[in-house]
Structure 1
Amino acid sequence: MSVIRQLVEDVPLPKMVEIGQRFPNPTVEDIDDTVNRAFAAEASRIAWPASGEIAVVVGSRGISQIDKVTKAVVTHLKSRGYQPFVIPGMGSHGGATSEGQKEVLESLGVTEDSVGAPIRSSMEVVQLGQLPNGLPIYMDKLAHEADGIVVINRIKPHTAFRGPYESGIVKMIAIGLGKQKGAESCHKLGFGHMAGHIVQVAEASLRTGAILAGVAIIENAYDRIAEIHVLPANDILVREPSLLMRAKSLMPRILVDAFDVLVIDEIGKDVSGDGMDPNITGRYATPFATGGPKVTRICVRRLTERTHGNANGIGVADTTTKQVFDAIDFEKTYPNALTSTVIEPVKLPMVLENDKLAIQTAIKTSNLLREEDVKLVHLRTTLQLDVIRVSESLLPVLNNRADIEILSDPMEWHFDAAGALNVARSWHGNHVH
């Protein structure tokens, strides 16, 4: 028996209870109609070109039904007589290659067939100028050469900084539309300057007149589209801050303010830019963002299939598994750190042989007098918070709450002979995704 196994194999695992968390649930039911109505409401304020090609900028985040939103935008532009094409609005994602970025879009369901438009992917940029401090400002060359640009993105809190503009249209213009060079420029001086830099870059890009509008998506707590807004170019800087506040009001959270161990089944770039959303975990890679629960240890079991080996975010975990380590593609993971200059998300936590040992190690290192009393929360991903698992020890603070529903009796953890968690037996069958 290895020394590691000998030190942790007797750490007790608490019985777990499945609970439902209830949040406000506004939902867009008809995406095509909502997109058409949003464009119609703002059409007179958009500086439409007489004709030509329109670049539709789509990012790499796991936005709910992004393929359907993109298709609706493409279809609307075609109805106006334009020839739309899609470009990846990504900094260093997809390994910072044109092929990799197209593959990221395809993994999200955004294909030429699904959206009805060609996808043109290139890392070439043009320099528009520079910031007052000398940092260059870039724009995707294909977009710059088009007759107009429409930017699609979700508005939500950022994972590494705070400001009136965080993740949204402004950031997509500054970083996604700027490709790897633009992202590198914005990140050059660190996240302490990011809130200012993205605004200055977006202002310069908007002054070119190339950007027609932004399509802003707000999601509800159940990872579904709550609202879709079309922002004419002149309104983007004015209206986005209020949309960010709206997005924050609809965000889900773990309805426990402090606990000992957080176990997450999967992290990945399709879940969050940081693999797991720090706004949910309370664990940030920079000192420029705060919020969320107080958690002593985080254990990550797997990478998502759609992250394609990009393990950005694993560095803020405390324990993980050999299966995660073996799945890491460093060629896809490290470009994020090299571009953002933040290396904490790509550092390695303790790597344990299997799920059971990784969870037990997280408990053992949580500085508990009685390990059997551990307060533990178990998530599938940070996007799926409607049904979670909590240890029996947390029930006293959750019982009799209107926003909590107890869904199961206390359950043991189920592992196979190799120590891998049996997901089907651990999660109630009706809730396994």
Structure 2
Amino acid sequence: MISRKDVESALQNYLASQDFSLEKYEFRTFSDGNLGFMGRHFKITTWVTFEGSSRQIDFFAKLAPTSRTHQTARTTSNYFTKEVFTYAYLAPKLDACLLPRAKFPVPRCFLSRDAAALTPPSEDRRLLLLEDVSRLNFRLLEDVQPLDLAHCRAVLRSLARFHASSLLLQESLVGDGESNTLREVAKEVFRSDFLNWMSGMNWAFNCARSMATAAALIWTERFDAAKESVLIKLNEAWERVYAMAYASDKYANVLCHADLWINNMMFSYEKNPEGKEVPVDVVFVDLQFVHYTPPTLDLLLFLHLCTRREFRDENWRDLLEYYHTEIGKYVSTKTLETRFPFTSLLESFEEFREYGRLKSIGYLPTVLEGLVPREQLDEQEPDVLEGMLKDRGHQIFRYCKASEAYRTRIEESFQECLEGLNLWI
């Protein structure tokens, strides 16, 4: 667990000084299940004496999960290794590449500990102590309703910084002796695709089974008799999408978050002259799925998970232009024109559209469960891996009957996917 020595080490990094006294500390568990199952989450509150005055300093703590499921599946270890590497090693380098007032949009890390650093190795003691950005007035949205234009632009402003820092870091490492080391370390950490069942083909084929079953129940006359042919087409599409989630030889690659849904974004607000709160900044959390891929994949996943289809159809090009303009605030005109021109962004967006459609039908049945009345939800799966790798079509159908909001989003997403596969006749 979290020891006093851990807390003191984090405070030393936070204060950039050893000259402080830790008077006391306490921590509490976050009980919100929507924070995700790939970690245990705590808020740590400390009271310290520093430079002659008393201060309260808060941290957000994330520990690797230790359930039998995760250990048996041997997936979480690599997730947590990836997240530790990104927070502790990559994020400071990416932040240093940006302008002084343009921060890399993730919480700062003040203490990290991965299994490789422990003697003897201990799953229970893998740890991240992060900045508590709620103290900076960032907050999670209260529900999973689709985002409006103002929130989308706030996300894209931060995502532009997130991606631009990668372009800048790559340029800074050209001719640098560190570049080979960084490349090799990153390659080792990000090698997890063949171990990673969340993005692997087992999970993908389960998503296909779940959608085919749910579609046959929702639109019986259309798809009950055609369920097997729908499943074949979906499996073929998932194979194409899975091949997209790698570095490209055709388009510029950046560090992508790869998990941009509502609960992985925290917003800060200011009041406009009319007294209405307006989103002005966003930080991204949960970096366990980061990938080195074309930035379009982040854009497509974000839009499909966080907006409605009608909104996307009306605004996607304007939002791409807005995002590209924001990128241009951080990289040189030469870099923008040669490595990341708008024409290339448009081309990749069209080429990878299927990625957004397929990934969203995999994620949305789970992330939209907040729209289902709590009493209608199934009891939590006794085995996380079993729950993610089974046909959930009947469960999706039940939730559609229990919640109009859930049904609307699911049917819209499924129909868009089926249209893209020429299956919606």
Structures share fold, TM-score greater than 0.5: no
Q: Which of the pair is proportionally richer in strand?
A: 1
TM score, norm. by length of structure 2 = 0.29
Q: Which of the pair is proportionally richer in helix?
A: 2
Which is bigger in relative contact order (C-alpha 8 A, separation at least 6)?
1
TM score, norm. by length of structure 1 = 0.29
